């Protein structure tokens, strides 16, 4: 009998990892994500695989975000040598994201070992090296949406557009086991309908088992018009105070969505006085990948900004400056007012955004805008929850900047979107909620029972299910 073991994103929203085992297809890993929050060295040291990586036959990757892909180099380092199936656009994004993550890890590990050497402590060995990233990228098999490939001897794999970020996929695996046809669908991260730049998530009709994300299972998002109006209002208020705006943003998806919204405001003549800085070398590279794969984006939105293969996105936002070098980033500190700074990381655990916090978070005239989910244990979540004192680079800082949250920017489906998506399956499959915090999952479970008489399972970490 086929089994699924839930090894990450079980009653939490990071570290997506599920192991599918069957006589027909062997061992297939659905995602291999890193937990977000805390120190990357501690995470890599403490997170051991609950299986032998050498025994895994294949990985199917839903999308490129690190909480779904970030442990792939460690998996390869420990012996995995099979194919990594993903969309072609995801493979392109991985080339950027895994190299960037490895570079940060190598620098942090070097600093930690220098500290340990001074203290006479045992040095840490790297959990993976850049050569493991190179090997990981070489194992990627890029697929088109709806292209069918064999997974093992008899199983069939297809990827469908999840509408979450560029290249994101819903995974469909069909196989026959002991004379019974079976189908497993893994939603990955589902986008919301009418999301900026993204197509609507694909609706599938049949499955025996569905693993469905539940990040926003307890709430809805604001619509596009309300979000744009709120952003415009925040910018106007900050301008009147003579302040600056800081926006922590994920390099993939959220940054491109922000640039679209700012482009809309520019077209309306509402950004003439603002200077906009994209202070993230990785986000700049990712934006180029979005331009390469513009045919995968929503044609209505790309037409709105006249995007095509020949013009870069910033051509439609002339106030935009790409801060590539550290010197470019530091120069932003000299601007007293009127700067919109978009920088990584999205949950404030690293990246250049923390340096901007150091310069501006203690000033009441400034505004900090969150445009994405902040997981438990991250600096972003601490700030959203109202912390007045934080530590940056070992030093205490008083939080006086205004904290705002734009819910309409989420790349995840809200409660009604999740309910509508799962409701398309006929007959009702067995539904398992993953990638969500307990309160959100329970709220979604209650709603699904009320509206569809659909009972769901909410597995704990390391729980296994037979189907």
Tell me the per-residue pLDDT of 207-219, one tens digit each, with 9 for 90 and over: 999 999 999 999 9
306/176 same-domain check? no
56/201 same-domain check? yes
Specify the length of the chain in residues.
467
* Average pLDDT, integer, range 236-247: 97
Asked if residue 413 has pLDDT above 90, the reply is yes
344/395 same-domain check? yes
Tell me the per-residue pLDDT of 19-78, one tens digit each, with 9 for 90 and over: 999 988 999 999 999 998 777 898 899 889 999 999 999 999 999 999 999 999 999 999
307/187 same-domain check? no
* Average pLDDT, integer, range 133-151: 97
What is the side-by-side strand order in the sheet with 209-213? 148-151, 155-161, 169-177, 180-186, 209-213, 430-434, 456-457
236/193 same-domain check? no
Q: Show the tokens assigned to 242.
A: 């003579």
Which residue, 409, 433, 450, sits at the end of a domain? 409
Range of the domain at 303: 224-409
296/391 same-domain check? yes
56/42 same-domain check? yes
399/427 same-domain check? no
The count of domains in the chain is 2
64/182 same-domain check? yes
390/446 same-domain check? no
Which residue, 409, 429, 446, sits at the end of a domain? 409
pTM of the model: 0.89
- Whether a cis peptide bond, with omega within 30° of 0, leads into 427 is yes
CATH number of the domain enclosing 380: 3.40.50.10890
pLDDT confidence of 316, banded at 50, 70, 90?
A: confident
405/278 same-domain check? yes
């Amino acid at each position: 009998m086929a089994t699924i073991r839930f090894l990450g994103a079980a009653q939490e929203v990071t570290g997506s990892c599920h192991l599918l085992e069957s006589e027909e297809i062997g061992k297939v890993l659905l995602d291999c994500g890193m937990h977000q929050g805390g120190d990357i060295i501690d995470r890599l040291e403490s997170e051991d695989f609950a299986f032998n990586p050498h025994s895994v036959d294949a990985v199917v990757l839903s999308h490129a975000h690190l909480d779904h892909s970030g442990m792939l180099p460690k998996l390869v380092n420990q012996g995995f040598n099979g194919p990594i199936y993903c969309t072609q656009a995801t493979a392109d994004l991985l080339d950027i994201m895994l190299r960037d993550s490895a570079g940060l890890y190598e620098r942090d590990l070097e600093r930690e070992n220098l500290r340990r050497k001074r203290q006479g402590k045992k040095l840490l060995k790297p959990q993976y090296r850049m050569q493991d990233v190179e090997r990981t990228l070489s194992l990627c098999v890029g697929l088109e949406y709806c292209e069918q490939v064999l997974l093992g001897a008899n199983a069939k794999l297809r990827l469908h557009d999840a509408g979450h970020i560029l290249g994101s996929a819903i995974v469909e695996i069909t196989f026959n086991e002991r004379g019974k046809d079976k189908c497993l669908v893994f939603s990955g991260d589902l986008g919301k309908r009418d999301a900026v730049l993204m197509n609507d998530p694909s609706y599938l009709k049949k499955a025996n088992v569905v693993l469905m994300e539940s990040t926003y299972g307890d709430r809805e998002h604001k619509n596009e018009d309300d979000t744009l109006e709120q952003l415009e209002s925040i910018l106007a208020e900050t301008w009147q105070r003579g302040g600056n705006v800081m926006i922590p943003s994920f390099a993939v998806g959220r940054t491109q969505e922000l640039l679209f919204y700012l482009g809309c405001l520019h077209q309306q003549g509402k950004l003439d006085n603002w200077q906009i800085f994209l202070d993230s070398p990785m986000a700049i590279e990712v934006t180029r990948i979005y331009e390469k794969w513009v045919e995968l984006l929503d044609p209505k939105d790309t037409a709105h900004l006249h995007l095509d293969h020949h013009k870069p996105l910033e051509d439609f936002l002339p106030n935009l400056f790409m801060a590539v070098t550290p010197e470019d980033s530091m120069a932003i500190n000299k601007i007293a007012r009127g700067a919109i700074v978009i920088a990584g990381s999205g949950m404030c655990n690293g990246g250049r955004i923390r340096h901007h916090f150091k310069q501006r978070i203690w000033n009441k005239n400034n505004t900090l805008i969150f445009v994405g989910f902040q997981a438990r244990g991250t600096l972003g979540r601490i700030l959203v929850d109202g912390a007045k004192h934080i530590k940056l680079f070992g030093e205490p800082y008083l939080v006086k900047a205004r904290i705002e949250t734009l819910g309409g920017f989420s790349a995840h489906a809200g409660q009604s979107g999740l309910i509508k998506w799962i409701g398309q399956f006929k007959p009702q499959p067995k539904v398992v909620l993953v990638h969500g915090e307990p309160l959100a999952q329970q709220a979604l479970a209650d709603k699904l029972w009320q509206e569809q008489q659909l009972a769901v399972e909410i597995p704990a970490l390391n729980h296994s299910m037979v189907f």
